[in-house]
Amino acid sequence: MTSPYTEAHDLFRKTVRNFVEKELRPHIDQWEEDEIFPREVFTRAGELGIFGAHYPEAHGGSGGDYWYSMAKAEELPRVGAGGLPMALLVQSDMATPVISDLGTPEQIEEFLKPALRGEKIASLGVSEPGCGSDVAAMRTWARKDGDDYVINGSKTFITNGTRADFITLMLKTDPDAGHAGISIVTFPTDVRGFHVSKKLKKIGNWCSDTAELFFEDCRIPRRYLLGEEGEGFRYLMQNFQSERLIGSASATAGARLSLEEGIQYGTDRVAFGKPIVKREVWQHKIADLATKLEAAEALVYRAADSYNEERYVKGEPVSFNTTKLISMAKVFVGDVAGEVVDTMLQFHGGWGYIEDFRVARAWRDQRLFRIGGGTSETMRYYIAKLMGL
C-alpha cells in the first residue's frame, strides 16, 4: 500500500518525536528506577495535542483520523522504555475511546475532555484477580439504589491505577446474566469506599504504575453509565480493537528500534578480528528478523487501514473482518517482537544481560504484549472463531 501518512501526519509525528527525545528520554532511566514518572508528563502531552489528535473537535480533539494515533504509537517507543508509552496509550486509546463513542455531553465534559488535555489521568478497569481474558466471569457488580449505583468488587493489573482520576469501569449490573449482564461506567476515584489495595511490582514496564483496586459500597450516580445497561461486553469488544491495534503498532516500532540498535552494536563490537555483524550466521538471523518485521508492519498497516476506513471514514462499528485482522496482527507482532528482542539480547552476549544496555529493558518490557489486552492464546481462539472454525 502507498504511505497512509500525509504532510500533516508527518508534522504531528515530528511533534511527538521532539517531545520524546527532548523532554522524556533524558529522564527515563531515573523514572524506571523510581518505578513512576511525573504526572506532568500527562499534562504536557495534553498541551501538545498528542492525546486528542484522532478525536472529534467537539470532544476536545483535533478531528484527525486514526493514522495520527498510529504515528504517535510509532514514536513513543523512542523514549527507551515500554512503561511510559503504555501508560500514555491507555490514556488516549484504551480508557477513553468508549467515552467518545457512547458518552453523554456531560460525561464528555467531565471525563473525556480533561483526559485529552492531560488534566485527568484515566485507567481501564477490566481484569480481576479471578479472571483475565474471561471477561464474563468478572464479579465486580453494581446494584441499583434509587438514582445511584452501589459498587463492590476488585480489579487488578490496572495501568495508571495508583493515580487515576477516573476509571472506565467494567462491572456486572445483572450478576446472573453472563455476558448480557455487563455494563460500563465512568468511575471517579475520589468516591468514598474506593481504595488502591496495592501497587504491583512487575518484571518489566517499571515506570508505569500498575495496581490492584478495591471497591466497597462505592456510590456513583447512574448517569455515569456509558451506553445501555447490559451492552457492556459488546462495547468492550469494540473498544478492545483500538487497544490491540495501537499496541501492535507500538510493539512493532519498539522491536524495529531494538533491531537497529543491535545492528549498530554489532558494527562497533569486534570479536576474533572483525565486527560481529559481519559474521554470516548473524547476518542470516538479522535478515530473517528484518523480513518478519516488514511482514508484521504490513499486517498492522492493513488492519489499521481497515479500522480507519470503518471507524473514521464511514463511522461504522468494527467489522468481523477487521477484528480478525487486528487479532492476527496482535498474535503475529507478539511472536515477531519477542523473537527480535530475544535474538538481539543474545547478539549482545553478556552485555545483553546487563541493565546498562537498553536491550535488557526491551526484553523485559516486550514480554507483556503476549499477555495484556488478550493473551496470544485467546487471540488465536478469536481468529479461529472468525474463520468459522
Write out the three cell numbers for 115: 483526559
Residues 6+ apart with CB under 8 A from 371: none
> In this predicted structure, what is the pLDDT of residue 1?
67
d(CA 25, CA 37): 12
Output the pLDDT for position 84. Answer: 98
Query: Are residues 232 and 186 in contact, defined by beta-carbon separation less than 8 angstroms?
Result: no
**End-to-end Cα distance, the chain:** 30
**Dihedral sign, Cα of residue 347, residue 349, residue 352, residue 356:** negative
pLDDT of 145 reads: 96
Tell me the catalytic residues: 243
- Neighbouring C-beta atoms of residue 348, cutoff 10 Å: 21
- Predicted local distance difference test score (pLDDT) of residue 134: 75
The confidence score (pLDDT) of residue 132 equals 67
Q: Which residues of 237-253 are buried (b: 16+ CB within 10 A; e: fewer)?
A: ebbbbbbbbbbbbbbbb
Domains of the chain: 7-121 (1.10.540.10), 123-226 (2.40.110.10), 232-386 (1.20.140.10)
- Which residues have C-beta within 8 Å of that of residue 280, sequence separation ≥ 6? none
Residue 45: its pLDDT value, please? Answer: 98
CA distances (Å), origin 82, targets 12, 16, 175, 191: 21, 16, 36, 31
Distance CA 343, CA 218 (A): 48
Provide the whole-model pTM.
0.95
What is the torsion angle, in degrees rounded to the nearest 10, for the CA atoms of residue 82, residue 84, residue 85 and residue 86? Answer: 80
How many beta carbons lie within 10 A of that of residue 129, not counting itself? Answer: 13
Question: What is the rounded distance in angstroms from the CA atom of residue 287 to the CA atom of residue 25?
Answer: 29
Q: Are 171 and 153 in contact (CB under 8 A)?
A: yes
Residue 109 and residue 119 in contact, taking contact as beta carbons nearer than 8 Å? no
The contacts of residue 275 (CB under 8 Å, 6+ apart) are 266, 267, 268, 269
In the chain, alpha helices (H): 7-18, 28-34, 40-47, 66-75, 83-89, 97-102, 105-107, 113-116, 232-268, 280-308, 320-347, 358-366, 376-386
How many Å apart are CA 66 and CA 73, to the nearest integer?
A: 11
pLDDT at 63 (0 to 100) = 97
User: For the chain (length 389 residues), average pLDDT per consecutive 10?
Assistant: 92 98 98 97 98 97 97 98 98 97 97 98 94 81 97 97 98 90 97 97 97 98 97 93 97 98 96 95 98 98 98 95 97 98 97 94 97 94 95
